[in-house]
Structure 1
Amino acid sequence: MNREQNGPHRPLLADLTDREGEALCAQLRQELVEEVSKTGGHLASNLGAVELTVAIHRVFDTARDRLVFDVGHQCYPHKMITGRREAMSTLRQYGGIAGFPKPGESGHDAFIAGHASNSVAVALGMARARTAMKEDYKVLALIGDGALTGGLAYEGLSNAGECGQQLLVILNDNGMSITANVGGVAEHLAQQRLKPQYLTFKKHYRRIMGKTWVGQRIYQFTHRVKKALKQSLLPCSMFENMGFTYLGPVDGHDLPKLTRILQYARELNEPVLLHVRTVKGKGYLPAEENPDAFHGVGPFDPMTGLMKKVGGDNFSAVFGRKLTQMGREHPEICGLTAAMMGGTGLGEFARAFPDRFFDVGIAEGCAVSMAAGMAKEGAIPVFGVYSTFLQRSYDMLIHDVAIDHLHVVLGVDRAGLVGEDGETHHGVFDVAYLDSVPGMTVFAPSSFQELEEMLERAVLEIKGPVAVRYPRGGEGMYTGSSGSGPAVLLREGRDLTLAGYGIQINDLLEAADLLSKEGIEAQVVKLNQITPLPTELVADCVRQTGALLVAEDCVASGSVGQRLAAALEEKQIPARIYRIDCGQEFVPHGAVRLLKWDLNLDGPGIARRAMEVLGCVK
């Protein structure tokens, strides 16, 4: 996104005094708790980044300078400062502002963010483009909160440190990604290095010594001596070995000090890494005491911190319970996750079998490759992962797992529409990309009981790579089991065949009921397996009805509907075919029920489209 480069530019909070800035931080914290308690969202990470965000906006002009967030779930204070404070009541709501940075929403959002570990690489690309296009602005990458557990972060750091260009990487160290072992002497020396007098002297010394050849030689010698001493005493050798000027660690809740150090870093025309220590959940006791629980929350009581809606059972919990049960009977079963133990329901398995549970951090590719190695040696690895994050390990699925037909089991959580997290988190691509993996089997349970049955088959019966995909949340009206066949006819009918899988079956059954009231009798075919795709039952049904409608919450390309249409054409079965899916555009954020209504994937929408297919719209 190009931004205006000419004319006067000043940071939005440039005129704030330290006292005014601290008052603003307190106000932002209060409003964060109030608003997120109503809308839900990411709370603890945002509370911990308040002073850092205010300091950045005192020093940098994000309408011109590029601030690249990593993961992006700590961007709420940034949104509030950059003109979206009044819109926080719509946060993550259908038609409201997004819970992650979104360039289309504001010119202050430099880049989309929702996955992890890419900020440094993106910022480096911006810095190189700035140089190539002879433009003048600053580039910042704000990384932390687990993002440094991903290998892509180190690829970016390695390249950025060598670039020699202005690039400021701010490491928000809240204990979730890096915890440096800093002793008393190192801590004292670090604080001395961050004093204004030292920073001012260092800046002038560098400028003066660079004016003459002799001065440059002296500066190079003293710099080498100082670097050797720092590496022996301070926890910064890794970053300095990469080519960064290391600053820190600094208290991330000391606004005056943060502002001064950012002002100093802004003047350095080189790669700089600023190490900032923050407390996740800062300023709100329930979040400070339990930052994991308040990382992502639903609506809660801001006075007590108690959730307003106590969630019932869900597919993730059922997955974890069943795997734990199987683990007791089969010691070769191992559980893996990528920094999502709680979200994938694997906490119980981890507690029961600590020697057989592995959390690789935000490194999905590593998890799949490690699972391949485990499978090669006879273990049965089960990787619980969100659909949207499994995308990051596609190459490993092909190269490490599929070529040797290794038995790796994927528990693909959050499949389909996930709701308020929006474009970056909807699990709408796995149907297509998993189908492209040779030898892959993909199950799509529609109920808790089916999830348990299919997981058992995936682990103990199927050979080669296998995935069990299931949605976020709980089951619908359909709670039974349709057996072990790849497809089943749930409802008889003569006028139309409705086909789908997963919990979309609930909407298809509702649509069939609505159509029945209009005198239209629809068959409902449930696909228990979507790769390899069972086509015979659908073909037999369509031969009877002459019309097929497939509904699924995934992208159109590579969808089951597209594949069924191709199969019917190959079988030369004449039929009117209609598909309802997510199309080829990214689906925005909002409650799943509203998104399904918008996409015509709910019962009434499916019934309406069915009547269009049959040509009997009133």
Structure 2
Amino acid sequence: MANPPNTFAPPSSGGGGAPPATPLLDRVRVPADLRNFSGEQLRQLADELRAETIHAVSQTGGHLGASLGVVELTVAIHAVFDTPQDRLIWDVGHQTYPHKILTGRRDRIRTLRQGGGLSGFTRRSESEYDPFGAAHSSTSISAGLGMAVARDLKRATARKAPSRRDEQNVIAVIGDGAMSAGMAYEAMNNAGAMRSRLIVVLNDNDMSIAPPVGAMSAYLSRLISSRPFLSLREMMAKLARRFPAPLERAARRADEYARGLLTGGTLFEELGFYYVGPVDGHNLDHLLPLLRNLRDAEDGAPILLHVVTQKGKGYAPAEESADKYHAVSKFNVVTGTQAKAPPGPPTYTKVFAQALIAEAEADERIVGITAAMPSGTGIDAFQKRFPKRTFDVGIAEQHAVTFAAGMATEGMKPFVAIYSTFLQRAYDQVVHDVALQKLPVRFALDRAGLVGADGATHAGAYDIAYLGCIPEMVLMASADEVELAHMVATCAAYDEGPTALRFPRGEGFGLEPVPARGTVLEIGRGRVLREGGKVAILSYGARLQECLKAADELAARGLPCTVADARFAKPLDTGLVERLAREHEVLITIEEGSVCGFGALVMQHLAWKGAFDHGLKFRPMVLPDLFIDHDTPKAQYEACGLSARGIVETAVAALGVENAVRPAQA
């Protein structure tokens, strides 16, 4: 019996706000409850789970399309495998909302990505059903292999031959996008050589690998995953090993070739995996028997199950516009209309894109490079204007950086637009392939600082520190959208070595019209916005407006202060820093970054100049030395002490004013 079409019908009443009726889902507290359901009941449960997911995300916003695409797969895995004893690892984790609902977190699902609520990704501290935390891609196979090998080592230590019934399964679910990262293939190559028992589910939602799937493909997949076929294959393999080496190799190639003709998957076979698929990832009649076969298979080669799914499955607006419904704001369930913020200043990402286009209009050597984030970084706008000068390399940050380095050797001017948190994945390439060779690669680091609902996994907290220790790297941070345009022009004009420009998520301040093309700034030169008083505030980045607010409040208390914008962390404006230290009793540095960043660079310079020998009170205000949980950006910065109130409290405390309140991070 084929599955009925999974098209979500919203409730007839409630204007899209009423929760859907979910009689079967209401009976599920933990995945074990699924294992008494019939196939027909599981199909109904999948429909209810999809409806619940849609309604929940309509209230909170989040990653909708990916979660809808794995509803049946989630139900099938939890119905067949003994989770959490069997380890289920989701790559990235942004598709796990149905998984969270089924694993005891339904009562909190409408707190997704809210302060104090559920994470938008998997998190070990949140549930025993999340054996490995994630949010960056392509880690699941490596983690799964580590778990599988640990299981095998513990079994060997126990010197006990387990029964098939007692065997612990490890299942890693990875998307076809995440399979573009080299780490996934490194893990598969290692897994194929080690031959530990591991099941990898390739969730292909873009038809990028699979031929069309149907009943014949499902039948063949069940056939080649069945115990009789696997036993026969193993028996023939043992027999072939008794042949002379040339005949054994020929027999093995014949087996791979025969199955390759039927199903594809030659690449995975070459990596040492036993390939099964492709199969319809929305058809429980196909998935359930297949997963049971794989669960009951004897130890041997790791297995790759290839399932084909559709992002946004079962919700028409998401099916019709997968990109817009990949990550959504709150929306009306009936109409699919997403809530829109009132018109405001342009976003930093949009300003960066426009500034880069303006520079590229004047210099044909400028190219844009991104790693699977064209819309998130503004490179999609650049691509519309310069399609032949735009390169999306997929989820492959290491390759993106060295690819840019290669282009720079030939006189091109590459801008690598990437989130601060994702550049961490290519640190060796930044050091070895770019900086060591003094190649003029320009890094545009979007999402610098705290990022709100995506939480600690996506916070751009560390780039100042991890780039600041690299020799001859020019580092700059924009205080507002106008400064961002000037800094893009500055990066484009600088050919002496690598540069990195950081800017935050969200809208600018609307201070003044952004110039059509920025003005080149003097490298290593800051600016002073206000003069006076015993306190100097030196800002690096987009907290400058909070610094000015703090200065207003201090002035109202009769404590006027100097406010300066460093613009550059490297090379540091040493003249400005020394003057601020010399002429003020208190010097406060402000940055949206971790310890060991801009403040550390300033402090080191002043220490060598002997500034502290003369009584300077230095206060570096940074993000606390801990991971900042998801919340609104405003709440996050307030909690970290990097608001105007926190700056005022720091200044007052440093001056020793009576009844001063110490800041949260002191």
- The TM-score with structure 1 as length reference comes to 0.92
CA distance in 1, matches of 2:520, 2:256: 67
Q: Which residue of 2 aligns with 1:142?
A: 173
1:214 deviation in Å? 6.6
What is the DSSP-based 3-state SS (H/G/I as helix, E as strand, rest coil) of the residue aligned with 2:107? coil
Asked whether the equivalents of residues 227 and 296 of structure 2 are also in contact (C-alpha less than 8 Å), the reply is: no
Aligned letter for 2:118?
Answer: I
Q: Spell out the pairing of 1:103-114 with structure 2 (5 A cutoff).
A: 103-114=124-135
What amino acid is aligned across from residue 607 of structure 1 in structure 2?
V
1:81 matched to 2:102? The reply is yes
**Percentage identity across paired residues of the two chains:** 40
Matched with 1:124 is: 145
CA deviation profile, 1:493-542 (whole Å, cap 9, x unmatched) = 21211121221101111111122222221211111111222232132122
Give the match for residue 569 of structure 2. 530
Q: Which amino acid aligns with 1:518?
A: R
Cα separation, partners in 2 of 1:215 and 1:393, compared to 1, 3 Å:
closer
- 1:226-276 deviation line (CA, Å, top 9, x unaligned): 432122343111111211111111100012321211111112223000000
Alignment of structure 1 residues 59-98 onto 2, 5 Å: 59-98=80-119
SS state at 1:14 partner: helix
**Residue in structure 2 matched with residue 29 of structure 1 by the alignment:** 50
Structure 1 unaligned runs (5+)? 1-8
Name the CA distance, whole Å, in 2 between partners of 1:274 and 1:24. 23
Aligned-partner SS, 2:374: coil
- Counterpart-to-counterpart distance in 2, 1:563 and 1:550: 10
Work out which of the residue numbers 340, 364, 367 in structure 2 matches 1:309: 340
Q: Which moved more, 1:313-322 or 1:526-535?
A: 526-535
Which one-letter code corresponds to 1:93 in the other structure?
A: Q
- Give the partner amino acid of 2:600: Q
Residue 227 (structure 2) pairs with residue 168 (structure 1): no
Matching residue of 1:489:
528
The offset of 1:224, in angstroms, is 5.8
Instruction: State whether structure 2 residue 272 is matched by structure 1 residue 243.
Output: yes
Alignment of 1:511-590 (within 5 A): 511-556=550-595, 558-573=596-611, 574-590=615-631
Amino acid at match of 1:365: Q
- Aligned counterpart, 2:316: 285
Contact 2:456–2:628 (8 Å) recurs in 1: yes
Indicate conservation of the 8 Å contact 1:478/1:506, yes or no.
no
Of 370, 395, 398, 1:362 maps to 395
Cα distance in 1 for partners of 2:572, 2:59 equals 43
Give the Cα–Cα distance (whole angstroms) in 2 for the partners of residues 363 and 490 of structure 1: 41
* Rounded Cα–Cα distance in structure 2 between residues aligned with 1:572 and 1:549: 17
Corresponding residue for 1:191? 218
* Alignment counterpart, residue 18 of structure 1, candidates 27, 30, 39: 39
What corresponds to 2:288 in structure 1?
A: 259
Give per-residue Cα distances to partners, 1:326-352, cap 9 Å, x unaligned: 222211111111001111111121122
Measured in 1, the distance between the counterparts of 2:78 and 2:211 equals: 30
Taking the aligned partners of 1:190 and 1:217, their CA distance within structure 2 comes to 33
Verify the 8 A CA contact 1:139 1:166 in the aligned structure 2.
yes
User: What is residue 540 of structure 2 aligned with on the other side?
Assistant: 501
Q: Counterparts of 1:322-361 in structure 2 under 5 Å?
A: 322-361=355-394
Q: In structure 2, do the counterparts of structure 1 residues 412 and 226 end up closer, same or farther at CA, with 3 Å as the change threshold?
A: same
Distance 1:168 1:538 in 2: 57
SS at match of 1:484: coil
- Aligned pairs (5 A) from 1:208-247: 209=235, 225-247=254-276
Query: 3-state SS of the aligned residue for 1:394?
Result: helix
Deviation at 1:145, TM superposition (A): 4.6
CA distance in 1 between partners of 2:225 and 2:401 (Å): 48
Task: Report whether the alignment pairs 1:599 with 2:640.
Answer: yes
CA distance in 2, matches of 1:19, 1:189: 22
User: Does the 8 Å CA contact 2:225/2:290 hold for their aligned counterparts?
Assistant: no
Cα distance in 1 for partners of 2:453, 2:385 equals 33
2:182 pairs, out of 151, 176, 179, with 151
User: Which residue does the alignment assign to 1:377?
Assistant: 410
Equivalent position to 1:51, from 64, 72, 87 = 72
Is the contact made by 2:89 and 2:171 (CA closer than 8 Å) also made in structure 1?
Answer: yes
Pair 188,46 (structure 1): closer, same or farther in 2 beyond 3 Å: closer
Query: Are 1:275 and 2:306 matched, yes or no?
Result: yes
AA in 2 matched with 1:484: L
Letter paired with 2:327? G
Alignment partners' CA distance in 2, 1:92 and 1:198 = 39
**What TM-score, normalized to structure 2?**
0.86
Residues 215 and 432 (structure 1), Cα distance of their counterparts in 2 relative to 1, 3 Å cut: closer
Question: SS state of the match for residue 470, structure 2?
Answer: coil
2:319 is the counterpart of 1:319: no
Whole-Å separation in 1 of the counterparts to 2:240 and 2:369: 56
